[in-house]
Chain A
Amino acid sequence: MAITVKVVDRPIEETSYVRATLSGLANTLKHLLDPHRVTTEYPDEREAISRRWRGTHRMLTTEDGKAKCVACGLCPTVCPANCIKLVPGEDEQGNRYPLVFEIDEFRCIFCGYCQEVCPEEAIHLGRHYENSEFNREAFVYDLERLMAQTHPVTELWDPADPKGE
Chain B
Amino acid sequence: MTDVLPGVHALLLAADPQGPMNFWPWLVFTAIKMLVFFTIYMLGVAYLTLAERKISAWIQHRHGPNRVGWSGFMQPLADGVKNFMKEETMPPYVNKALFVLAPMLAFIPAMTVWAVIPWGAPWASPWGRVEMVLADLPIGFLFIIAIASLGVYGIVLAGWSSNNKYALLGGLRSSAQMVSYEISMGLSLIPILLFTGNVTLSSVVNSQASMHMWNVLTLSIAFLLYFISAFAETNRLPFDMPEAESELITGYHTEYSAMKFSLFFIAEYANMATQSAMLATLFFGGWDVPFTQADNTGAVSFPLVLLSMALMMAKTLFFLFVYIWVRWTLPRFRYDQLMSLGWKILLPTGLGYIIVVASLMLGLDAAGIERGFVYGLIFLGVNIVLVALFMVFLDRGKILSAAYGRASIGELQRLRDITTSRTRLSTTAGD
Binding site for B on A (CB under 8 A): 9, 11-21, 23-25, 27-29, 31-32, 34, 36-39, 41
* B329: Cβ under 8 A from any A Cβ: yes
Residue ID in chain A nearest B419 by CB atoms: A9
* Chain B residue at minimum C-beta to C-beta distance from A31: B59
Which of the residues B329, B403, B404, B422 comes within 8 Å of A28, measured between beta carbons? B329
Assess the B395–A25 pair: CB atoms within 8 A: no
A-B residue pair count with CB separations less than 8 angstroms? 65
Are A11 and B415 CB-contacts (below 8 A) given A16-B399, A32-B325? yes
User: Residue B371 at the A interface, CB < 8 A?
Assistant: no
CA A25 to CA B402, docked complex, whole Å: 16
Asked if residues A18 and B395 are in contact (CB atoms below 8 Å), the reply is yes
Structural contact, A28 and B328, CB atoms closer than 8 A = yes
* Chain A binder among B60-68, B78-86, B99-107, B150-158: B60-68
A37 & B399 in contact (Cβ 8 Å cutoff)? no
Residue of A nearest to B396 (CB): A13
Q: Is the CB of B63 within 8 A of A41?
A: yes
Q: A11-B415, A31-B61, A38-B62 are in contact. Are A21 and B394 (CB under 8 A)?
A: no
User: Knowing A9-B422, A37-B61 touch, does A24 contact B330 (C-beta < 8 A)?
Assistant: yes
* In the complex, chain A residues whose CB is within 8 Å of the CB of B416: none
For the complex formed, measure the closest distance between the CB of A161 and the CB atoms of chain B, giving whole angstroms: 38
Name 21 interchain pairs, CB-CB below 8 A, sorted by A.
A9-B418, A11-B415, A15-B398, A16-B398, A16-B399, A16-B401, A17-B394, A18-B395, A18-B399, A19-B395, A19-B398, A19-B399, A23-B403, A24-B330, A27-B329, A28-B328, A31-B58, A32-B58, A37-B62, A38-B62, A41-B63
Enumerate chain A residues within 8 angstroms of B55, measured Cβ to Cβ.
32
The answer to whether A25 touches B326, judged by C-beta atoms less than 8 angstroms apart, is yes
What 5 new A-B contacts, CB under 8 Å, besides A9-B422, A18-B399, A25-B326?
A: A14-B398, A16-B399, A16-B404, A25-B329, A29-B325
Give B411's nearest chain A residue, CB to CB.
Answer: A14
Task: Give the 9 A-B CB pairs with smallest separation, nearest first.
Answer: A19-B403, A16-B398, A16-B403, A28-B329, A18-B395, A38-B61, A24-B329, A32-B59, A28-B59
Closest to B392 in A: A18
Chain B's interface: helix, strand, loop or mixed, by majority? Answer: loop
Main DSSP-derived SS at the A contact region: helix
Taking CB atoms and an 8 Å cut-off, the chain B residues in 43-78 that contact chain A are 55, 58-63, 66
Question: Shortest distance in angstroms between A30's beta carbon and chain B's nearest beta carbon?
Answer: 9
Please name all residues of chain B whose beta carbon is closer than 8 Å to the beta carbon of A11 when the two chains form the complex: 415, 418
Tell me, yes or no, whether B391 is within 8 Å of chain A by CB.
yes
CB nearest to A13 among chain B residues? B396
Cβ of B415: which chain A residues have Cβ within 8 Å of it?
A: 11
Q: Check if A39 sits within 8 Å of B63, measured CB to CB.
A: yes
* Complex Cα spacing A41 to B422, Å: 51
Q: Which of B66, B394, B402 contacts A18 (CB 8 A)?
A: B394
A21 and B62 within 8 A (CB) = no
B182-206 contacts to A (CB < 8 Å): none
The minimal Cβ–Cβ distance linking A14 to chain B, given in whole angstroms, is: 8
